[in-house]
Structure 1
Amino acid sequence: MSVLDLVREDLRDFAGYGSARSTRLQGRDWLNANEAPWPNAADVDGACRRYPEPQPQALVDALAALYRVDGAQLLVGRGSDEAIDLLVRATCRPGVDAVLATPPVFGMYAVAARLQGAAFVEVPLVDGAGGLMPDLVRVVDIARERRARIVFLCSPANPTGAAIEAEAIARVAEALRGQALVVVDEAYAEFSSQASALCLLAAHENLVVLRTLSKAHALAGARVGVAIGHPQLVALLRRCQAPYPLPVPSVALACAALSAGALRETQRRIDAVCSERTRLFDGLLRAPGVRRVYASDGNFLLVRCIDAEGAFAGLLAAGIVVRDQRGAAQLGDALRISIGTPEQNDRVLDVFGAPRDQQSVTSSAQCMEAGAQRLPGEGASR
């Protein structure tokens, strides 16, 4: 069975839009795209006068090297959000197929399903001693029962921070072979010690991994994300993608951020975040008013509070904005707190009234200096 059997039948031979940059032509005078003959006065180097490549080769090559995959396995787009939308639209027939996810979880899976007219099936996380984790046996059973065409597994999960072992993901992909795509959203993978699901791609054609430069690489404003999967599926997604998805400045910034020197600095910052995550976790555990802090493989902590409204208001009064999770399923008493600089984390601990011995005397610069030198994507230590 081909992975294309999981795609909508009416899209399997879809050619998509042939833009002026779809074919690699060579010439001196480029008069095929109705572009302006002169750059804008504000465009100093003239880089934005021309349309960009649909899949900029230099960026594809850099990302393929970072994730250790072939460039044909990789779709570059506007953050992970575009990949989520494309995957749902390419696989789900409106009113027929379903999308499955495990709430509380990233909200864009449900948004993409609704916009496509696909049923959104929820298999709630189970709150136990190990944290909020998916019941993967039930995920498979419900996916079969509800004819799910795509199953989203967020690992490390947002907003819970829990990661799923690669072996468990492999079992889900194998169980749903021929029925559904299993999409593993690894937006926070660089902060985790768990092996990436990228290691499973060769054995599971129905597996797709999402990665992004928004989090660990500090390029949220550039909007660069990737879907990594079987080359046939990626080729089809490219045909379904709108032309010119990435602006020239975003491509240039991303390529610069993937240079060897920039990657070394990024890894130092990942290590600093992981160190601060541990310190903030330990401090919040001892803070009055905190009911529970969940262990996290992301760059954030999920905190249950005795008085979440009071804690949220107190943080705001101190100028600290955190994510209020009280509207999410099972999280009526919870806040999600991103890991900041040591100084910012100290201010969070002050608001919560954590004991002073949990406060840092280390500056941001010293914290950065202590970082190790692994490359991002290889997995940071806890």
Structure 2
Amino acid sequence: MSVLDLARAEIRALAPYSSARMEASGGTVLLNANESARAPSIPGGDGLNRYPDPQPRGLVETLAELYGSTPDRLLVTRGSDEAIDLLTRAFCRAGQDGIVISPPTFGMYAVSARIQDAAVVEAPLDADGSLDPDKLLAAVTPGTKLVYVCTPNNPTGNLVPLETLKRIADALQGRALLVVDEAYAEFSGTPSATTLIDSYDHVAVLRTLSKAWSLAGARVGTLIARAEVIGLLRRIIAPYPLPSPCVDAALAALSYEGRRVQRHHVHELLNERARMAVALAKSPGVRAVLPSHANFLAVRFDDAAGTYKRLLAAGVVVRDITKYPGLGDALRITIGTGNENDRVLAVLRAGASA
């Protein structure tokens, strides 16, 4: 059985839109795309009168090297959100198919499914934040097409071991696509699930430059999967998903100097994460600091709502995650600079003495 047998028949049969840039390349006089012949008279405007490459070769090749894959197994998208949407539309028939998630987890899996009128089946994480593979697999039905596992998980920060992912992949063969979201992988120091793709044609991995590479504003995400899955999704992706300035920013961040700076920033963040985990655990009003392998800490408070308001009044914005299952007393605090983290600690100390 091919992984494409899991996809919607109408998507497999779809004749994709063929853009002017896809139909012809090369040449010096470009009169095929109804673009302006002149660049805009703005700073940095050179080249912006031309449509960008649908899948920029230089960026695809660089990301393939970064993630230990090959260009034919990569799709560059507008953040991971677009990849999630593409997977949902390609594999889930409206009103018939569905996905399995393990809340509390990233909310866009369920949002994309509900937009598509796909069922959302939940297999909640255990009380300690760990993923129970038996519970996850028990939630899979004949209509399940996508099973999402986020590792490190957002918003809890816990890891799912590679061996557990392999066990899930084994059980899902011929049944559903396993989508492993590794948005925070650079902070974990653990092997990537991309190593499973050689053995399993139904495993896909999401990566992003938004977190460890400091490019959230550029919206550059990557889906890594077998070439046939990438080919399927290229049928339905927008003709020109990545603006040229975003491609340039990504290539600069992934340059030799950009990688040196990135390693320094990640090392600095890991040190701050360790410091904050200890300091927060000792802070007044804190019940517990959840172990995290990401660039944030989920923290349980005696009064999460009151703490959120005090931080906001002091100009510090954290994420209220009390609506997530099992996290009714928690806030998610992104690891900032040393000074920013100190401000958080100072507000917590001041709140205790108020």
Q: Structure 1 length normalisation: TM-score?
A: 0.90
Tell me which residue corresponds to 1:334.
330
What does 1:189-204 correspond to in 2, within 5 Å? 189-204=185-200
Tell me which residue corresponds to 1:26.
26
RMSD (Å) for aligned C-alpha atoms: 1.2
Question: 1:146 Cα deviation (Å)?
Answer: 5.5
Question: 1:26 Cα deviation (Å)?
Answer: 2.3
Tell me which residue corresponds to 2:108.
108
Cα distance in 2 for residues equivalent to 1:240 and 1:336:
35
Find the residue that maps to 1:337 and give its secondary structure. Answer: strand
Cα distance in 2 for residues equivalent to 1:353 and 1:324:
19
- Whether the 8 Å contact between 1:3 and 1:230 is mirrored in structure 2 is no
Pair 1:158 & 2:154 matched: yes
> Partner amino acid for 1:239?
R
For residues 335-374 of structure 1, give each alpha carbon's deviation from its aligned partner in whole angstroms, at most 9, with x where no partner exists: 00000111111111112229xxxxxxxxxxxxxxxxxxxx
Pair 1:213 & 2:180 matched: no
Pair 1:244 & 2:240 matched: yes
Task: Name the % identity.
Answer: 50
What does 1:6-25 correspond to in 2, within 5 Å? 6-25=6-25
Find the residue that maps to 2:148 and give its secondary structure. Answer: strand
Find the residue that maps to 1:321 and give its secondary structure. Answer: coil
Tell me which residue corresponds to 1:235.
231
Tell me which residue corresponds to 1:126.
126
Unpaired segments ≥5 residues, structure 2: none
Find the residue that maps to 1:353 and give its secondary structure. Answer: helix
Tell me which residue corresponds to 1:64.
64
For residues 254-296 of structure 1, give each alpha carbon's deviation from its aligned partner in whole angstroms, at most 9, with x where no partner exists: 0111101111110110011011000000011111211111010
Cα distance in 1 for residues equivalent to 2:139 and 2:242:
37
Question: 1:197 Cα deviation (Å)?
Answer: 0.7
> Partner amino acid for 1:141?
A
Cα distance in 2 for residues equivalent to 1:262 and 1:228:
22
Tell me which residue corresponds to 2:290.
294
What does 1:231-380 correspond to in 2, within 5 Å? 231-353=227-349
Find the residue that maps to 2:87 and give its secondary structure. Answer: helix
Cα distance in 2 for residues equivalent to 1:99 and 1:331:
23
- Whether the 8 Å contact between 1:164 and 1:194 is mirrored in structure 2 is no
Q: Structure 2 length normalisation: TM-score?
A: 0.97
Question: 1:44 Cα deviation (Å)?
Answer: 4.3
Cα distance in 2 for residues equivalent to 1:24 and 1:211:
30
For residues 307-346 of structure 1, give each alpha carbon's deviation from its aligned partner in whole angstroms, at most 9, with x where no partner exists: 1112111111221100001122221111000001111111
For residues 21-59 of structure 1, give each alpha carbon's deviation from its aligned partner in whole angstroms, at most 9, with x where no partner exists: 113432221100000111111254422110001100011
Find 2:136's aligned residue among 136, 139, 152: 139
Cα distance in 2 for residues equivalent to 1:167 and 1:203:
13
Question: 1:245 Cα deviation (Å)?
Answer: 0.2
Tell me which residue corresponds to 1:188.
184
> Partner amino acid for 1:30?
L
